[in-house]
């Protein structure tokens, strides 16, 4: 396999957490926690910055992130799932994803009874896109010419089918959550 069709993956993860327990006296306890994490993980074929036209193919793809040799499958020679020419189901971009979390618990004891209540807040922002073959794909699965074979159709430039990504599949997802609780124990 050509190294230009291998995958580039870059992962950057950042995490921070703070925790404080405050006990002003023997009957009160307050515990507060804050956490943040961030993840960014883009995955591209090595030739993602090479336009398909440099391979002699005019796919019409103009987004520079979706460059590279289009996926080419020829039944009996190099076809999915055994392999093929070109990249496979990339790029995939995850992030940057941000997640914030804040938790606060307060406990109070009165005699034999214990009371605890608290709150939790989380906020998640996720940006992701998985573009399956955005540089295009062509398959030569059956002879489309009168008595041809898939490999003959490949050399003749007569594919059985093809595909091309239209639009932008990336998504921004935002999720916020709040939780409250109260509990008591005792005799």
Q: What pLDDT, on the 0 to 100 scale, is given for residue 146? A: 65
Total-model pTM: 0.68
Q: What pLDDT, on the 0 to 100 scale, is given for residue 38? A: 95
Helices (H) and strands (E) in the chain, counts: 1, 9
Residues linked to residue 35 through DSSP beta bridges, in sequence order = 17, 101
Spell out the domain ranges in the chain.
9-185
Span 71-89, pLDDT tens digits: 788 877 765 555 566 666 6
Report the candidate in 19, 42, 39 with the shortest Cα–Cα distance to residue 130. Answer: 42
Model confidence at 148, in pLDDT bands (50, 70, 90)?
A: confident
């Amino acid at each position: 396999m050509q190294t230009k069709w291998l995958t580039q993956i870059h992962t950057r993860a950042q995490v921070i957490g703070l925790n404080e327990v405050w006990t002003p006296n023997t009957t009160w306890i307050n515990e507060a926690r804050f956490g943040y994490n961030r993840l960014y993980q883009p995955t591209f074929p090595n030739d993602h910055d090479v336009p398909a036209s440099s391979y002699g193919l005019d796919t019409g793809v103009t987004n520079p992130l979706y460059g590279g040799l289009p996926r080419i499958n020829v039944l009996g020679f190099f076809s999915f799932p055994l392999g093929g020419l070109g990249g496979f189901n990339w790029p995939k971009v995850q992030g940057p994803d941000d997640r914030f979390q804040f938790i606060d618990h307060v406990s109070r004891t009165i005699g034999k009874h214990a009371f605890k209540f608290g709150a939790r807040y989380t906020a998640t922002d996720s940006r992701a896109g998985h573009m399956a073959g955005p540089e295009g794909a062509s398959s030569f699965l059956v002879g489309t010419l009168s008595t041809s074979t898939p490999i003959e159709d490949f050399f003749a430039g007569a594919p059985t089918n093809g595909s091309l990504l239209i639009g932008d599949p990336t998504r921004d997802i935002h999720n916020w959550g709040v939780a409250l609780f109260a509990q008591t124990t005792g005799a």
